Structure 1
Amino acid sequence: MSDNSLRLVWIYPDLLSTYGDQGNALVVERRARQRGLDVQRLDVRSDQQIPTSGDIYLIGGGEDRPQRLASERLIRDGRLNRAVSNGAIVFSVCAGYQILGHEFINDLGERQQGVGLLDVVSTRGEAERCVGDVLADIDPQLGLPPLTGFENHQGVTHLGKTARPFAKVRFGKGNGVGDGYEGAYNDTVFGTYMHGPVMARNPHIADLLIKLALDVNALPPVEDRWYEALRQERIAAATQPA
Structure 2
Amino acid sequence: MSDNSLRLVWIYPDLLSTYGDQGNALVVERRARQRGLDVQRVDVRSDQPIPTSGDIYLIGGGEDRPQRLAAERLVRDGGLERAVSNGAIVFSVCAGYQILGKEFVNDVGQRQEGLGLLDVVTVRGEGERCVGDVLADIDPRLGLPQLTGFENHQGVTHLGPTARPFARLSMGRGNGNGDGTEGAYNDTVFGTYMHGPVLARNPLVADLLLKLALDVNALPGLDDRWYEALRTERISAATQPA
Q: TM-score, normalised by structure 1?
A: 0.99
Instruction: Give, as a single letter, the amino acid of the residue that structure 2 aligns with 1:67.
Output: Q
For residues 124-149 of structure 1, the C-alpha deviation after alignment (integer angstroms, 9 at most, x for no partner) is 00111100010000000000000000
In structure 1, the residue matched to 2:14 is 14
Residue 212 of structure 2 aligns to a residue in which SS?
A: helix
- Give the paired residue count: 242
CA RMSD of aligned residues (A): 0.5
Aligned-pair CA distance for 1:237: 1.7
- Residues 1:238 and 2:238 aligned together: yes
Query: Which residues of structure 1 form unaligned runs of 5+?
Result: none
In structure 2, the residue matched to 1:194 is 194
Instruction: Give, as a single letter, the amino acid of the residue that structure 1 aligns with 2:163.
Output: A
In structure 1, the residue matched to 2:31 is 31
Aligned-pair CA distance for 1:240: 1.8
Same amino acid, percent of matched pairs: 86
Query: Which residues of structure 2 form unaligned runs of 5+?
Result: none
Aligned-pair CA distance for 1:236: 1.1
Residue 238 of structure 2 aligns to a residue in which SS?
A: helix
For residues 188-216 of structure 1, the C-alpha deviation after alignment (integer angstroms, 9 at most, x for no partner) is 00000000000110010100000000000
In structure 2, the residue matched to 1:116 is 116
Taking the TM superposition and a 5 Å limit, the aligned residue runs for 1:1-242 are 1-242=1-242
For residues 49-92 of structure 1, the C-alpha deviation after alignment (integer angstroms, 9 at most, x for no partner) is 00000000000000000000000000000010000000000000
Instruction: Give, as a single letter, the amino acid of the residue that structure 1 aligns with 2:239.
Output: T
Measure, in 2, the Cα distance between the counterparts of 1:117 and 1:223: 34
Measure, in 2, the Cα distance between the counterparts of 1:168 and 1:190: 15
Instruction: Give, as a single letter, the amino acid of the residue that structure 2 aligns with 1:36.
Output: G
Measure, in 2, the Cα distance between the counterparts of 1:7 and 1:120: 27
Aligned-pair CA distance for 1:224: 3.0
Q: TM-score, normalised by structure 2?
A: 0.99
Measure, in 2, the Cα distance between the counterparts of 1:81 and 1:104: 18
Measure, in 2, the Cα distance between the counterparts of 1:173 and 1:238: 14
Instruction: Give, as a single letter, the amino acid of the residue that structure 2 aligns with 1:172.
Output: G
Instruction: Give, as a single letter, the amino acid of the residue that structure 1 aligns with 2:40.
Output: Q
Aligned-pair CA distance for 1:222: 1.1
Aligned-pair CA distance for 1:241: 2.3
